[in-house]
């Protein structure tokens, strides 16, 4: 029985890991952010993300596979919308953590500020 539970936990861990992995890429985070206010088609997402259509399509495919977005074909366009809004809760929690870290870590903060300075020229 203990072996049963152990195996089930491994499968659960794999699912959890995959879920986090879907969120572990800036381009995908951008796409998900673009979908927060409502569905968009691939062309729109391509423009908003600044990546190639092929790349966006590839990322969307993964997000759909993990179940974070849903795909809906309409005419010649394909629309994607959020299937799992809890990801925004996750992102907010992480943003909060990273934000408070930035406050705590003066060296990192100085680096970020110097990045800003570079664009003031």
Partner DNA sequence: TGACTATATAACTATATGGTTATATATTAA
Partner DNA sequence: TTAATATATAACCATATAGTTATATAGTCA
Contact between 36 and 82 under an 8 Å Cβ cutoff? The reply is: yes
71 binds DNA (CB under 7 A): yes
121 binds its own copies (CB under 8 A): no
> What's phi and psi for 35, nearest 5 deg?
-95, 0
Element (H, E) at 79: strand 77-82
The bridge status of strand 69-74 relative to strand 40-41 is unpaired
106 binds its own copies (CB under 8 A): no
103 binds its own copies (CB under 8 A): no
36 binds its own copies (CB under 8 A): no
Q: Which residues of this protein are in contact with DNA, per CB under 7 A? A: 21, 24-28, 41-43, 46, 51-55, 57-62, 71, 73, 75-78
């Amino acid at each position: 029985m203990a072996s049963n539970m152990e195996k089930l936990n491994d499968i659960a861990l794999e699912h959890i890991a995959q879920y986090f992995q879907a969120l572990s890429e800036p381009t995908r985070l951008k796409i998900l952010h673009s979908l927060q206010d409502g569905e968009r088609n691939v062309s729109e997402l391509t423009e908003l993300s600044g990546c190639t259509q092929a790349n966006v399509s590839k990322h969307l495919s993964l997000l759909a596979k993990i179940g974070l977005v849903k795909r809906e074909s309409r005419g010649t366009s394909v629309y994607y919308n959020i299937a799992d809004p809890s990801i925004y809760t996750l992102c907010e929690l992480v943003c909060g953590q990273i934000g408070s870290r930035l406050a705590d870590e003066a060296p990192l903060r100085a680096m970020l500020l110097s990045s800003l300075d570079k664009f003031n020229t």
